[in-house]
Structure 1
Amino acid sequence: MTDRYASFVQSGAGRALVKRLGLPDPPRLRRHTPGDPLVPGLVLTGAADGGRLAEPVGRILAAAGVALRDPATAVADPATGRTPASAALVYDATGITDSAGLRQLYDFFHPQARAVQPSGRVVVLGTPPAECATPREATAQRALEGFVRSVGKEFGRGITAQLVYVTKTGDAGTLTGLEATLRFLLSGRSAYVSGQVIRVGAGQATAPADWDRPLDGQVVLVTGAARGIGAALARVLARDGAQVVALDIPSAGDELAAVANEIGGTAVQLDLTAPDAPTRLAEHLAARHGRVDVVVHNAGITRDKTLGRMDADRWDSVLDINLSSQERITDVLLERELIPAGGRIVTVSSIAGIAGNRGQTNYATSKAGVVGLVESLAPVLAERGISVNGVAPGFIETRLTARVPLVLREAGRRMNSLSQGGLPVDVAETIGWLAWPASGAVSGNVVRVCGQSLLGA
C-alpha cells in the first residue's frame, strides 16, 4: 500500500507546502539493510554522577564497532553557535537518586537537542523503580519515562527515543541482554519503535558468534506466516539464520508454500482452532526438529462490529484464534518440553489491546489478553530459562489497513511521532530481536511498534 502523502512530502513542492502550512512531515526512516554499520556516525555518551552502567556500555559499544564522540567536541562552536551532529545519544541515568538530580538530564540533552542526525537514536538507561533503595530514587527513576517520551515527540526528523531499565541484581545474561537491546535500538531495525520502556533483567542469554546472523541454528515457528506481517517475519528470521517453520490455515496453502520455498523453510497447513491442532503441531515439531527454540504467535483475525451489533460467532472466533489458541499451543509445547531452556516465546498484541478501539471489543479484548499472557507467563517461565515477550503494532501498512476508509487511514498514519504508518518489516525486526538467544534477559515486555502513537500513550 502506497502512502501518497508521504511520497508527496519528499518532493520539492511538497517540502515547501509542508513548511508553509505546518502540515505533518513524515521523515524518511533509516531501516536495516544487511551490511549496514550499526550506527551511521558518531555516538555521544554521558552519565549522571555515580552511574553504574557507563563502563559496561562503553565496552559494548566499542565491541560493536561504534565510534564514540569525544565530549570535548560536542559543544557549540562559538563562531556559529552550532553543536556538531551525533548519530545517537546514550545516557546512563542510573546515578540519579532524587528529583534534584534530574537536572543532569537537562545539562546533557539541552545542548544536543538540535544536534542529532535525522533518523538518530536517543537511549536513556535507568534503574527499575521497584529496585530503588529509597522512595526518592524510585521517584526520580520513574520520572525518566516522561522525559524520554517527550524527547521522542520533540526531536522529530525520524529520531527515536527509548528508556531501558536495567536490573541492579543482574548476571552475565543481563549484560548480554543489554548488548542485544542496544544493538537493536541503535540500529535501523528499530525504525518504527519510539517512546518505549524496555526492561532488562536476569536470564539465560548467549551472544551469537556473528551478530549479523543472531539466529543461526535456531528452529523458529511462525503462525500466520502466509502473508502480511507473518510473511515479513518469516523472511527476517530466515535472513538472521533461523530454520523457519511457517504455519497457516489450509486455504492459504499456496501463499504459505511460496513463502516457505522463498526462505528455505518448511510449511505446515493447520487450522489452529481444530481440537487436535496443538497435539498435531507438537508431534510435527518433535518428529522433524526435536524441539522449537522460538515460538512466534502471530496468527490473528478481525471481525469488526460494535458490541450491540456483534453476533456471538464474531466474538468467539476472534477470541479463540487470537488468544485461546496461543494458550493451548503454548501449554502443549511446554508440557512436552519441546521449548528448551534458552527458548523464546513472542506473541503479537496490538495497540487496540492497550487503548481499545470502537467496533473492536472482541479484538481489543483478545489483544489485551495477550498482554496478560506475557505478564503472567514471564515469572513462571523464568524458572525454566525461557523468555516471553509481546509486540503491539500500531498502524502498519498491510492489506487489512488498505481497506480502512480514507479519512481513518490518514488519521492512523499521522497520529504518531513519526507521522507515517509502519511497515510489516518493522514488526518483524522487533520480533526478531526478542527472538535472539542474546535477548534472554529481556522478558515480560510488551513493545509497541507504532511510531509512538498518540493512542493509548
Structure 2
Amino acid sequence: GGRVGLRGGCALILLLAAAGWGTESLREPRAARVRTRVGLPPPAEIEAAASRILAAREIRATLDALGRVAASVRYHAADVTDPDAVRGVVHDVRTRHGRLDGIVHGAGTIDDRLLRDKDPASFARVFATKVDGARHLADAAADHGEAPAPDFLVLFGSVAGVFGNRGQADYAAANDALDTLAATPAWSRRFPGRVVAIDWGPWAAEAGGMVTPELERMYTSRGIPLIDADGGTAAFLAELAHGTVGQVVLLAEDGADTSEGTNAPEAGTAPERRRG
C-alpha cells in the first residue's frame, strides 16, 4: 500500500503545480535566449530567467535523487487550479499503475503585501493555488472507478493559517481553508486511511523551504528554529502512520521530547496540536 511505499520501492509521481511549465522547461536554455536586439534585457527579466534555470536544475536534481531510492519516478507539469489538467494527470497515473495509493498536496505561492495594498487578482491567485488545487486533487482521486481508493490525502499548510503573519492575509486564509477541508466528513469518506492538514513551521532553505537568509535571521532573533529535512520527513511519516486528527501543527523545537503532544512517537520535530 501507499504507507509502506513511502519508505522506498514505490512509484513516485511529481506534479509541478504551475502553468507554463513542461518537460522542455527542464532543459538548460542558452544564455543567448535572454538577450534582445538592443543588448541585455532589464534586470527583472534577467532575474526571472535565472530563477527559471535554477528551478529546472533543482527539479532535475530532485528527480535524480528520488530515482536512486524509488522504483520509478515520473514528472508531470499541470496547473492545479485547472480541474481538467489535474484530472488528466490522475488518470494517467491510474492508467500506468492501476491505482493511486496516496496524495501529498504541497503546492503554494506567496505574494506578500499588506492587505491595503493587495489587489483581488493577487489574493485569488494565492488562495486558489492552495484551496482549488486541493479540491481538484480530491475530486479527481475520488473518481477512481474500479481502482482502489487512495489511502491518504495530505494537505501541506502553514502555521500562518493558525497564528497569522504580517503581509500574508491571503496565504493565511488559504491555509486555514485547508484545515477546514481536512476536517470535513465528506472528504474523510473519500479516503479510507487518512485526510490530514499539516500546518508546518518554517523549513530550512536546504530542506526545500522558502526561507531566505534574511528570514532565517529574523526567525533566529525571535527564537524560532527551522525544520531540517530529516526531522521534517520523520515527523511527516510518523504523523501519517500514527496520527488520528484532521489538523496538526508541527513546529521544530531544539532538544524537545519528540513524543510530546502527538500520537506520532517517532517524529523528528516536536508537534504541537491546534483545534484537533
TM-score (norm 1): 0.42
Q: What is the distance in 2 between the residues matched to 1:383 and 1:275?
A: 18
Q: Is the 8 A contact 1:286 1:338 kept in 2?
A: no
Give the AA of the match of 1:331: D
Amino acid at match of 2:99: R
Letter in 2 for 1:246: L
The one-letter amino acid paired with 1:432 is L
Taking a change above 3 Å as real, the CA distance of residues 422 and 306 of structure 1, as seen in their structure-2 partners, is same
Which residue does 2:231 correspond to in 1? Answer: 426
C-alpha distance in structure 2 between counterparts of 1:282 and 1:344, whole Å:
14
Report the counterpart of residue 211 of structure 2 in structure 1. 401
What amino acid maps onto 1:444 in structure 2? G
Residue matched to 2:66: 263
CA distance in 2, matches of 1:261, 1:299: 21
How does 1:170-185 map onto structure 2 within 5 Å? none
Structure 1 segment 155-234 matched on structure 2, within 5 A = 215-216=3-4, 218=5
2:89 counterpart residue number: 281
TM-score by length of 2: 0.67
Relative distance call for 1:370 and 1:246 in structure 2 (3 A) is same
Q: CA deviation at 1:347?
A: 1.0
**Partners of 1:448 and 1:338 in 2: CA distance:** 36
Q: Deviations over 1:344-366 (max 9, x none)?
A: 11111111100111110000000
1:284 Cα offset (Å): 1.3
Q: CA deviation at 1:305?
A: 0.4
Query: 1:8 is matched with which residue?
Result: none
Other-structure match for 1:318: 126
Correspondence for 1:387:
194
Matched, 1:242 2:10: yes
Closer, same or farther: CA 275–382 of 1 in aligned 2, 3 Å: closer
1:238-273 residue CA offsets vs partner (Å, 9 max, x unmatched) = x44432112214254543233223222222222223
- Mapping of residues 54-69 of structure 1, within 5 Å: none
Larger Rg: 1 or 2? 1
Q: Is the alpha carbon distance of 1:428 and 1:368 closer, same or farther for their aligned partners in structure 2, counting shifts above 3 Å?
A: same
SS state at 1:427 partner: helix
Look up the SS of the partner of 1:401 in the other structure: coil
The number of equivalent residue pairs is 215
- Verify the 8 A CA contact 2:201 2:250 in the aligned structure 1: yes
Partner deviation per Cα, 1:38-90 (whole Å, 9 max, x = no partner): xxxxxxxxxxxxxxxxxxxxxxxxxxxxxxxxxxxxxxxxxxxxxxxxxxxxx
Task: Give the letter aligned to residue 425 of structure 1.
Answer: D
Q: CA deviation at 1:215?
A: 4.0
1:349 aligns to what SS in structure 2?
A: strand
Tell me the equivalent position of 1:448: 250
Per the alignment, residue 221 of structure 2 pairs with 411
Note closer, same or farther for the CA distance 1:281–1:306 as it changes in structure 2 (3 Å cut): same
- Equivalent residue for 1:367, pick from 147, 171, 175: 175
Percent of aligned pairs with the same residue? 22
Structure 1 unaligned regions, length at least 5: 1-205, 207-213, 219-236
C-alpha separation in 1, matches of 2:127 and 2:162: 16
The superposition leaves residues 262-291 of structure 1 with CA deviations (integer Å, 9 ceiling, x where unpaired) of: 222222222223352222112211221122
Uncovered stretches (5+) of structure 2, i.e. residues with no partner: 26-54, 68-72, 254-269
Take 2:147 and 2:129, find their aligned partners in 1: how far apart are those partners?
21
**CA displacement 1:21-44 (0-9 Å, x = unmatched):** xxxxxxxxxxxxxxxxxxxxxxxx
In structure 1, what is the Cα distance between the partners aligned to 2:114 and 2:237? 34
Residue of structure 2 aligned with 1:297, choices 105, 123, 132:
105
Instruction: List per-residue Cα deviations over 1:397-438 (Å, max 9, x = no partner).
Output: 1252125456523235x14xxxx22113333322223444xx
| Aligned Cα root-mean-square deviation (Å) | 3.0
- Partners of 1:246 and 1:431 in 2: how far apart? 18
Q: Give how far 1:385 is off.
A: 1.9
